[in-house]
Copies of this chain bind each other. A is one copy, B any other.
Amino acid sequence: MTDQPGLDGDGPSESASGTINRMSEGACCAGTFPANRRVSDDVIDSELTVFKALANEKRLRIIEALRDGELCACELETILDAPQSTVGSHLSKLREAGIVRTRKEGKWTYYRIADTASLQVLNLAAALGEDEQ
């Protein structure tokens, strides 16, 4: 027989609820798992939508550029120094993810940050990544 991890719980951070159903026979985790630690698919989907939208250098540059206020699509083209179709598809993804919102004025389309919470996410991520390098 083999030991089970976390049985005696002498670790420094073993303070979680003991509702995890551990097995009493066989290998470490065979058969049973802490099902109560699953999270709803909706939450995962929400997070995934946002993070996929943010996991791209050009899209991050767009958002950083929009920190101080709205810009039109063509201005973002020059900031990214990329072809119109490239910038356009990035903007589409940001809009589909709900990160940015648009305002049409004549033949121009102005983009702005939809929710300041997006900027908080950026700030937190920057701080997180910073002390890891």
Using a CB–CB cutoff of 8 Å, the interface residues on chain A facing chain B are 2-6, 11, 13-17, 20-23, 27-30, 32-34, 37-39, 42-52, 54-57, 60-61, 64-65, 67-72, 74-75, 77-79, 81-84, 97-99, 103, 105-106, 108, 110, 112, 115, 117-118, 120-122, 124-133
User: Are A33 and B125 closer than 8 Å at their CB atoms?
Assistant: no
Q: Given A22-B83, A39-B64, A48-B60, does the pair A6, B72 have CB atoms closer than 8 Å? A: yes
Find out whether the CB atom of B47 lies under 8 angstroms from the CB atom of A81: no
Copies in the complex: 2
A48 near B38: Cβ-Cβ < 8 Å: no
Report the nearest B residue to A32, measured CB to CB: B78
